[in-house]
Amino acid sequence: MRRLLLALCVALAPTVASAQWLFEDASVPIAYVDNGRAQFQFACRGGDLAMGYWVRSPHRTVAGAASLNLAITPDPDTAADTKSAAGASFAQDMPLIHSDGTSMIVRGPVAQSWARIAQKAKSTIRVAYVRKHGTLEIFDSNDFGASGSASAIKHVLDRCG
């Protein structure tokens, strides 16, 4: 009985690889991926590309901050090392929105650059809040599957022109 219960729990547990990018063609076209703890998205808002990262239960440092940096790492070297920033690109000193968790919205050239980074990722996209306070501190690092990212994000970019 224990083995059956364990097998059922393992089968039902979400994994990074199973997270599929989705596209919703509504008045605000959006491409997003959600791992249950966080959501990473690209949307065409008012004709401009916006990139968003939302963490449902942020670290207390993030929840108390007015602004932080954001990092994206395509296909990180090791899934276990979520505190590494090797190969990351950064959006610096962006304001945080504290409502039902914590989120950050990035627009303009950085959003365009990150859309290209996310489209080129092969298996995993890691996104995290980052603070340089003496040393580099990484908070709320989340891995998202890259499956379907190129196509879903392309639909949004096609609408944002």
Domain boundaries, the chain: 2-66+92-121+143-160
Residue whose token pair is 């942020």? 58
Picking from 48, 32, 30, the residue whose alpha carbon sits closest to that of residue 118 is 32
Inter-CA distances, 121 with 11, 22, 70, 96, Å = 26, 16, 17, 26
Mean pLDDT by 10 residues, the chain (161 residues): 34 47 93 97 92 96 95 81 76 91 94 95 95 90 95 94 60
Q: How many residues does the chain have?
A: 161
| Secondary structure E strands in 18-134 | 22-24, 30-34, 38-45, 48-55, 67-74, 89-95, 97-98, 102-107, 124-133
What's the pLDDT score for residue 47? 87
Locate 69 and state its tokens.
């940096």
Total-model pTM? 0.84
Residue whose token pair is 């990212």? 149
Q: What angle do CA 140, 75, 10 make, to 5 degrees?
A: 70
122 phi/psi in degrees, rounded to 5: -90, -45
Q: Using CA of residue 108, residue 132, residue 56, residue 99, what is the dihedral sign?
A: negative
What's the pLDDT score for residue 153? 96
What's the pLDDT score for residue 11? 35
d(CA 63, CA 56): 10
Largest CA distance in the chain: 56
Picking from 28, 44, 37, the residue whose alpha carbon sits closest to that of residue 112 is 44
What's the pLDDT score for residue 160? 87
Q: Using CA of residue 27, residue 33, residue 34, residue 40, what is the dihedral sign?
A: negative
What's the pLDDT score for residue 80? 54
d(CA 39, CA 23): 13
What's the pLDDT score for residue 148? 94
Digit-coded pLDDT (tens) for 15-27: 444 468 999 998 8
